């Protein structure tokens, strides 16, 4: 299939000049070898790909998010597919002092903070094809505090342990978003507006950093359900199903969940692959992350005492 045919879906986004330039640049990138530079692109391009033309193209303001959204939705996604939003951060090592946004960011590869550039990306995940397609990437400001719950960083005043005298219960849904959470929420809403015509994802996937109430409320305000992971020491309880004693408030919490001994009645699926048994449990649980949207939790428990290891999720 010709590149011009594939790019026909983005004609409403770009004018004819940028469309022709994008076609020339794409053909050169797919055929050239060695280091990719603007001079190399111009040398590998056919008629209409002079060095000045390549410079003008990369200097133009191009709505890349709209282009990627149109290409992904028309060529890579099916109408009957289940689509998810997935977010993550990535760090690129970079030395120097003059690069914009240069700072120290945590890298899971090096397991420490390293000098470089930080980026936040959102992808569309196809459940049917089991693939992720990046649709938005934004550079992170190194001066922006990436704490999701500033209340935990505040030290308690006084030496009296426990709850302060005279404090009242607070609604966990009424929280003040940190600048970092507002930054992510704005990007989620912008991606939602891009794909609203073709698909309406219901879930937002993120790593264990979002397994807390502030992040849950932030995602809930976008009309999405959160798929994340809680800490291994998170306390969850089954809903109370006993008899009311007739005195005091009605109990909310029942038996505490033991992750190493989940009830059999919650088991919905079990499979064995490569001598590893995977059990899927489903249950209604109560905890600190109560909200109108759902928080899907995943637990991994490995039993080395059994020759057939068990992975419960």
pLDDT of residue 159: 61
d(CA 207, CA 190): 21
CA distances in angstroms from 84 to 29, 34, 200, listed in the order given: 30, 36, 9
pLDDT of residue 309: 33
Counting residues of the chain whose pLDDT is more than 70, the rounded percentage is: 87
Q: What is the tens place of the pLDDT at every residue in 140-183?
A: 999 888 888 766 555 555 566 777 777 787 777 888 889 999 99
Residue extents of the structural domains in the chain: 1-62
**Could you tell me which of 275, 287, 276 has the C-alpha nearest to residue 312?**
276
CA distances in angstroms from 36 to 19, 26, 44, 56, listed in the order given: 21, 12, 10, 17
CA distances in angstroms from 46 to 34, 38, 53, 290, listed in the order given: 18, 14, 12, 59
| Residue predicted with more confidence, 225 or 312 | 225
Helix (H, G, I), strand (E, B) or coil at 97: coil
Residue 1 pLDDT level (bands cut at 50, 70, 90) = low
Q: Degrees (nearest 5) of the Cα angle 190, 224, 140?
A: 45
Which whole number is the average pLDDT over 207-224? 88
Which whole number is the average pLDDT over 19-24? 91
Secondary structure string (H, E, C) spanning 16-38: HHHHHHHHHHHHHHHHCCCCCCH
Q: What is the tens place of the pLDDT at every residue in 92-147?
A: 998 888 888 899 998 888 889 999 999 999 999 999 888 999 999 999 999 888 88
Instruction: Report the first-to-last Cα separation within the chain, whole angstroms.
Output: 43
Residue 185 has pLDDT above 70, yes or no: yes
pTM of the model: 0.75
pLDDT of residue 135: 92
Ranking 65-74, 162-171, 274-283 by mean pLDDT, the lowest is 162-171
């Amino acid at each position: 299939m010709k590149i011009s045919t594939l790019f026909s879906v983005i004609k409403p986004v770009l004018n004819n000049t940028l469309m022709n330039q994008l076609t020339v640049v794409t053909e050169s990138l797919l055929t050239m070898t060695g280091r990719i530079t603007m001079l190399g692109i111009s040398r590998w391009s056919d008629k209409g790909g002079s060095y000045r033309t390549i410079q003008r193209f990369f200097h133009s303001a191009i709505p890349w998010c709209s282009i990627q959204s149109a290409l992904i939705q028309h060529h890579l996604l099916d109408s009957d597919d289940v689509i998810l939003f997935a977010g993550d951060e990535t760090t690129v090592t970079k030395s120097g002092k003059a690069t914009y946004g240069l700072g120290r960011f945590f890298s899971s590869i090096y397991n420490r903070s390293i000098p470089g550039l930080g980026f936040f990306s959102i992808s569309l995940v196809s459940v049917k094809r089991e693939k992720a397609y990046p649709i938005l990437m934004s550079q992170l400001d190194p001066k922006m505090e990436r704490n999701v719950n500033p209340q935990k960083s505040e030290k308690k005043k006084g030496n009296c342990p426990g709850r302060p005298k005279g404090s009242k219960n607070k609604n966990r849904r009424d929280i003040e978003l940190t600048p970092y959470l507002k930054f992510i929420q704005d990007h989620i809403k912008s991606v939602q507006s891009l794909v609203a015509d073709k698909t309406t994802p219901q879930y937002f996937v993120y790593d264990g950093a979002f397994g807390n109430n502030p992040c849950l409320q932030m995602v809930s305000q976008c009309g999405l359900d959160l798929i994340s992971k809680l800490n291994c020491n998170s306390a969850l309880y089954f809903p109370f199903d006993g008899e009311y004693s007739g005195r005091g408030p009605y109990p909310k919490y029942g038996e505490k969940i033991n992750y190493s001994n989940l009830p059999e009645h919650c088991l919905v699926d079990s499979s064995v692959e490569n001598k590893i048994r995977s059990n899927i449990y489903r249950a209604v649980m109560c905890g600190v992350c109560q909200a109108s949207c759902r928080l899907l939790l995943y637990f991994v428990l490995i039993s080395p005492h059994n020759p057939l290891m068990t992975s419960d999720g």
